[in-house]
Amino acid sequence: MKREIITTSDGSTTIHLPEWNEQYHSKHGAIQEAKHVFIKSGLKLFSNTNLTILEIGFGTGLNCFITFLEAPKLNLNIQYKGIEAYPVFMEEIRKLNYVTELNANNYQNEFDLMHYCEWNKVVNISNTFHLKKEQLFFDQINLNEELDLIYFDAFGARVQPELWTETIFNSMFKALKNNGILVTYSAKGSVRRAMQTVGFVVERLPGPPGKREMLRATKPS
């Protein structure tokens, strides 16, 4: 499948798949979307604690890198699991401008390590940020009450509806601890209903630029 690097509305880059007319991040602003959906609506609910995060769709590493940058401000010690069935090619990673756009030139080595590091092995990106990337299909995830927070950043239901089913969200529900949270850019009614069916309490929140709403789901205690 053809893949192109494009620049989104906030100046940050992403990968575009012309055949699907789909992007890894919002064309209205890759960094803006990541900060709004996953940081503001997810990560910033936690502080002064140990936190285990699962990202569904590791992709370009943008969500992981912003989380790494934000964690010290919240005094978080993070175990970060990134799931990706089809890893992004290194030649594509080199064309992404996240380090520059985030004014994080002092952390270029850490961004590079997130991509160069070995899969299926815990790697210390810093003393307080530990990353394990796993090359899996999402329906192969089998975790039990291990997670505090899930970034659900799969390709949209329009192109991959099988990733937004009750079966997948039941797996996510099982993987979260009580009071654990899942955040996603999607606000589709079918997605919200699938989450509610498996037991999540779901909120509609204001969306990032270009989207009216997004969803946040909580596993009740």
Say which residue the tokens 């175990």 belong to: 79
Computed over every residue of the chain, the mean pLDDT equals 97
* Predicted pLDDT of residue 203: 98
Contact in structure between 26 and 53 (CB atoms under 8 Å):
no
Environment class of 156 (CB within 10 Å of its CB; exposed 0-12, middle 13-18, buried 19+): middle
How confident is residue 19, by pLDDT bands cut at 50, 70 and 90?
very high
* Predicted pLDDT of residue 1: 86
Tally of CA atoms within 13 A in the half-sphere of 117 that contains its CB: 19
* Predicted pLDDT of residue 214: 98
Please determine, for residue 181, whether its predicted confidence score (pLDDT) is greater than 90.
yes
Q: How far apart are CA 132 and CA 55, in angstroms?
A: 10
Q: How far apart are CA 159 and CA 186, in angstroms?
A: 13
| Fold adopted by 29-218 | Rossmann fold (3.40.50)
How confident is residue 194, by pLDDT bands cut at 50, 70 and 90?
very high
What are the two backbone dihedrals, phi and then psi, of residue 201, each rounded to the nearest 5 degrees? Answer: -95, 120
Q: What is the pTM of this model?
A: 0.97
Look at the alpha carbons of 35, 37, 40, 44 in this order and tell me if their dihedral is positive or negative: negative
Structure tokens at 168: 């997948």
Q: How far apart are CA 61 and CA 115, in angstroms?
A: 7
**Amino acid identity, position 210:** G
pLDDT tens for each residue of 170-179: 999 999 999 9
DSSP 10-44: TS-EEEEETTTTEESS-TT-HHHHHIIIIIITTGG
pLDDT tens for each residue of 108-162: 999 999 999 999 999 999 999 999 999 999 999 999 999 999 999 999 999 999 9
Tell me the average pLDDT across 39-66.
98
Q: Which of 11, 9, 3 has the alpha carbon at shortest distance from 100?
A: 11
* Predicted pLDDT of residue 218: 98
Please determine, for residue 208, whether its predicted confidence score (pLDDT) is greater than 90.
yes
pLDDT tens for each residue of 75-103: 999 999 999 999 999 999 999 999 999 99
* Predicted pLDDT of residue 176: 98
